[in-house]
Amino acid sequence: MKQTLLGQVAVVTGSSRGIGRAIAQRLAREGAVVVVNYRQSQEAAKVVVDTIRGQGGQAEAVSFDVSDAQAVNHAIRDIFNRHGRLDILVNNAGGTLDQLLLRLREDEWERVLRVNLTGTFLCTKAALRWMLRAHYGRIVNISSVASHLGNVGQTAYAAAKAGIEGLTRSLAREVATRNITVNVVAPGFIATDMLEQLPDVLKQAYLQLIPMGRWGKPEEVAEVVVFLVQPAAAYVTGQVIGVNGGLYM
């Protein structure tokens, strides 16, 4: 079958595990050279790279913390210099720190916003420089159904993810004439390490709310991301696409 992203370079933040890993593997199957970013799980990132290479794809692992502006700028510049292009950025790295608002400390609030929202801003800004020059780019930001439904204990997380959606719509307008699209994929409950952190009783309660009656798979999120980064998806921008089994309509 024809590979639709042959020769393109894609950076997927936080792709050593979970949803990011599935996105990286799926982009590689379409022929993209994939940069597997992680912060600390070096071994896991190496396994992702080895798996992609084992299937005939191209990938490399690059560690940087998305919330560290200097590290992001250095890494993205280096990626561009080595490959001579940067076509796709998937801002997937993120994390939760669940706490009721009254108990949520300011440093915890800052930490959640820093990784999810500021990280998206920093990586986007660094990559956009090269995309603007090329008059081409595909940016997909990963938010969450939590930003639409709200979730007890997730005021910071939901605020950060809602922020990502506002950023996306505004940036989509800024760069639309340059053939750069900016979209959001908002997963529902997806079976990853993040879901594992939830207490069983909460998981059972959430499962009851999902019309499809099951958790999503990382591969099901990856499929939507791959659609959005296709050259053919050129007229889709500023959109938020849910992948949630009907949890939020």
Task: Tell me if residue 98 falls in helix, strand or coil.
Answer: coil
Least separation in angstroms between CB 168 and ligand NAP: 13
Q: Is 43 in the site for ligand NAP (CB under 6 A)?
A: no
Instruction: Find the part of the chain contacting ligand NAP (CB under 6 A) among 14-22, 54-62, 105-113, 231-239.
Output: 14-22
Q: Does 245 bind ligand NAP (CB under 6 A)?
A: no
- Contact residues for 174 (Cβ-Cβ < 8 A; gap 6+): none
Q: Nearest Cα to 225, choosing from 116, 140, 112?
A: 140
Candidates 142, 158, 180, 210; binder of ligand NAP (CB under 6 A) is: 142
- Enzyme catalytic residues: 157
Q: Which of 5, 11, 25, 38 binds ligand NAP (CB under 6 A)?
A: 38
In the DSSP assignment, the letter for residue 118 is I
Site string for ligand NAP, 88-127 (x = CB under 6 A): ----xxxx-------------------x---x--------
Binding of residue 163 to ligand NAP (CB under 6 A): no
Q: Select 119 or 245, whichever has its Cβ closest to ligand NAP.
A: 119
Q: Does the protein bind ligand NAP through residue 229 (CB under 6 A)?
A: no
Please name the amino acid found at residue 93. Answer: A
Please select the residue that binds ligand NAP; options are 9, 20, 28, 247, rule is CB under 6 A.
Answer: 20
Residues 6+ apart with CB under 8 A from 145: 186, 187, 188, 189, 242, 244, 247, 248
DSSP character string of 17-65? SHHHHHHHHHHHHTT-EEEEEESS-HHHHHHHHHHHHHTT-EEEEEE--
# binding residues, ligand NAP (CB under 6 A)? 31
Q: How far is the CB of 33 from ligand NAP (least distance, A)?
A: 19
Q: Checking DSSP bridges between strand 180-187 and strand 9-12, what pairing results, if any?
A: unpaired
Through-space distance between the first and last CA atoms of the chain, rounded to whole angstroms? 34
Q: Which residues contribute to the site for ligand NAP (CB under 6 A)? A: 13-20, 37-41, 65-67, 92-95, 115, 119, 142, 144, 187, 189-190, 192-195
